Amino acid sequence: MTDRRNQPLFNDGYWWSNDGLRLHYRDYPGRADRPAVLCIPGLTRNARDFEVLAQRLCGERRVIAVDLRGRGESGYAKDPATYVPMTYLQDVEALIAELALDRFVVIGTSLGGILAMLLAGTERERLAGAVLNDVGPELDPAGLTRIRGYVGKAVWHPTWVHAARALGEANGDAYPGYGIEDWLAMAKRLYRLNSSGRIVLDYDMKIAEPFRLPGNEAGPDMWSAYRAFGERPVLVVRGALSDILAEEPAQRMAQALPSAELVTVAGVGHAPTLDEPEASAAIDRLLARIA
């Protein structure tokens, strides 16, 4: 993504995992006197998911959007068994150390939100606040079944319009208000053009192998992980149509922490894009509380 003068809004950065994988992040520059914003995407997504959010926040905040292992421009793991939250957590901790982030706010969508909760326990001194996007300590089995039904299935399309239409057919229930331009934008975030000229999903199909085993979608005790945020500001964003984060556990999340806020995005399922007006305003409120 570039600005009007065709200057890049972000720099590409790389770091190494403990097991030797070269991993990628986008670094959007911002004020050094404020905590950086660390954005972690969902299971099948990548750093491009945060383009609009990062473009809006950068300048005032440094924004770092990561490609987890096996996604985007990050390396693919030799051992699929490493595609689990605890390994992702180690990768993110290695990035935090590499960048010497003294204080940061984490914004996590779905799987990224699970990692945010785990970071509340491992990065107590540096974590200043968090946004959990359509995820919590309890995950709805219906949504997990739906995700297990499609993740890891290799598909390709001859044109971006074909990819957009396929996304619309598969995800229309989650985004009932979307038109073709919205689906095209999502396709550009989720797919890539390969060397054969085919438009393919931008992740290693093997990420599905451990995810299909019950228990590998989160940590062992996620309510304890969530409560580790303590008095830090926490924003829970829930899609009103979500099949991953139900309303009742979302309400309990808001009540469990003294500085938690719950915002529900109308007319959206799993997961909000975070550029919806109510989500944007809530993120701004959270960041305003963090010097």
State pLDDT tens for residues 132-150. Answer: 999 999 999 999 999 999 9
Helix, strand and coil content of the chain, in percent to the nearest 5, comes to: 35, 20, 40
Rounded Cα–Cα distance for residues 197 and 190 (Å)? 16
Rounded Cα–Cα distance for residues 262 and 109 (Å)? 15
Instruction: Please answer whether residues 228 and 117 qualify as being in contact, where contact means their C-beta atoms are separated by less than 8 angstroms.
Output: yes
Rounded Cα–Cα distance for residues 132 and 283 (Å)? 11
**Phi/psi at 34 (5° precision):** -120, 150
Q: What pLDDT score was predicted for residue 123?
A: 94
Instruction: Please answer whether residues 85 and 219 qualify as being in contact, where contact means their C-beta atoms are separated by less than 8 angstroms.
Output: yes
Rounded Cα–Cα distance for residues 51 and 2 (Å)? 11
Going from the first residue of the chain to its last (291 residues), give the mean pLDDT of each consecutive group of 10, the final group possibly shorter: 62 98 98 97 98 97 98 98 96 98 98 97 95 97 93 96 97 97 97 96 97 69 95 98 98 98 98 98 97 75
Rounded Cα–Cα distance for residues 171 and 7 (Å)? 34
Give the predicted TM-score (pTM) of the model.
0.95
Strand (E) or helix (H) holding 130: strand 127-133
SS3 of 40, please? strand
Domain 11-151+206-288, CATH 3.90.550.10 — does that match? Answer: no
Rounded Cα–Cα distance for residues 84 and 177 (Å)? 33
- Please state the separation of Cα 70 from the chain's center in Å: 14
